[in-house]
Amino acid sequence: MTLSWGTITKLYYEICGTLKSYIRGGKIEMYNIKQNLVASENYGIKCPYLMTAEFIVVHNTANDATAQNEVAYMIRNKNQVSFHYAVDDQEVVQGIPITRNTWHAGDGNGEGNRKGISIEICYSKSGGTRFDQAEKNAAHFIATLLRERGWGIEKVKKHQDFRNKYCPHRTLDKGWNGFIQMIKSYLNDIPITSSSGFKVGEKVRVKESATQYATGQALAWFVKGSIYEVTKVAGDKLLLSDIMSWVWIDDVEKVIANTVVATAFPFLVKVICNELNIRQKADFNSEVIGVVKKGEVFTIVDQQNGLYQLKSGAGWISAATKYVQKI
């Protein structure tokens, strides 16, 4: 039997669609989780209050921007509008620490704005397959949040519950109960985990309320709200990656396993080669404007394209471990 090119193409997409659905339903996740957190100096506008979350509030964006663009626009403008997460067909992007409130529910200082984890589902203006996938990703992500906190499905609410606004509009059009059932189906696939006890390799977020390291020293401002990997566990203390400091278990919370671990800046490095070029820009083809020598120690404030930025403003040096060593 000879198949036409059109039939072959149709079968190809049907098979790919089936495999994608099977893989997602088969517990292999297809989306990434990233952070692009608002600068702390903008907390007063975007998230002025500390928050202990009590439920999740679902929104639709009413535009066709990606999650990355949605968050980037939110954190850089000066409007008193904010949300914790945006979800599209590829990734989940966090813009606000979940230990702080967001302005999303339209109820002023009411429960929606002060107690809810806000989640925006992207591509709701045009809908279609991109929105459908974003909605599936959001359902799975919400199920994971519920499991993390030991919450039931009753903790999932919609924007409409806090203000007389038809939102999440496209999810409501498709049927709110169907979305809830989707979350329930993912809940069945996610094992219940104990809220106590930590393991090496798990990822944790340092709470905004934390004030001291376990050693008694004041906690650095940039550590609060950041995500780290647990490298050692000793009783009620955890040793965290990158900062290599001990914190109390009461000052951290577990996060989703595939969340991207953010590198904490600033940190110190020591030059371990004889000489290392300083470049003007974060580019190995950039002009060499100086050198650093073996044994010298520098404070690093950023990393791009395999280079570290020096706090002094002198330029950029290679981040390769054969040239420099974190201390």
Domains of the chain by residue range: 31-187, 203-254, 267-326
pTM (2 d.p.): 0.57
Cβ pair 199, 232 in contact under 8 A:
no
Q: What was the pLDDT predicted at 30?
A: 64
Q: What was the pLDDT predicted at 294?
A: 93
143 three-class SS: helix
Name which CATH class applies to 267-326. Answer: mainly beta
Q: What was the pLDDT predicted at 150?
A: 75
- The candidate with the shortest Cα–Cα distance to 263, out of 317, 297, 222, 299, is 222
Q: 87 vs 15, 122, 232, CA distance in Å?
A: 25, 6, 32
Cβ pair 304, 271 in contact under 8 A:
no
Q: 139 vs 17, 24, 86, 146, 186, CA distance in Å?
A: 18, 12, 12, 11, 7
Q: What was the pLDDT predicted at 14?
A: 40
Strands 246-248 and 85-87 come out as: unpaired
Asked whether the CA dihedral 283, 286, 289, 295 is positive or negative, the reply is positive
CA dihedral (220, 222, 224, 225) in degrees, to 10, reads -170
Q: 137 vs 14, 30, 96, 271, CA distance in Å?
A: 20, 8, 19, 44
Cβ pair 75, 46 in contact under 8 A:
yes
Q: What was the pLDDT predicted at 147?
A: 82
Q: pLDDT by residue for the chain (327 residues), tens digit each?
A: 444 444 443 343 343 333 333 333 344 346 888 889 998 889 999 999 998 889 999 999 999 999 999 999 999 999 999 999 999 999 999 999 888 999 999 999 999 999 999 999 999 999 999 999 999 999 999 998 888 777 899 999 999 999 989 999 999 999 999 999 999 999 887 765 444 467 777 888 888 888 888 888 888 776 777 788 887 777 678 888 777 788 888 888 887 655 554 556 688 889 999 999 999 998 888 899 999 999 999 988 887 777 889 988 889 998 887 888 887
176 three-class SS: helix
Name the CATH superfamily, with its identifier, for domain 31-187.
Answer: Peptidoglycan recognition protein-like (3.40.80.10)
Strands 85-87 and 91-94 come out as: antiparallel
Tally: H helices and E strands in the chain: 7, 18
3-state helix, strand, coil in the chain (%, to 5): 30, 25, 45
Q: What was the pLDDT predicted at 140?
A: 93
Cβ pair 172, 160 in contact under 8 A:
yes
d(C-alpha 272, C-alpha 200), whole Å: 29
Q: What was the pLDDT predicted at 10?
A: 39
Q: 164 vs 105, 125, 160, CA distance in Å?
A: 10, 19, 6
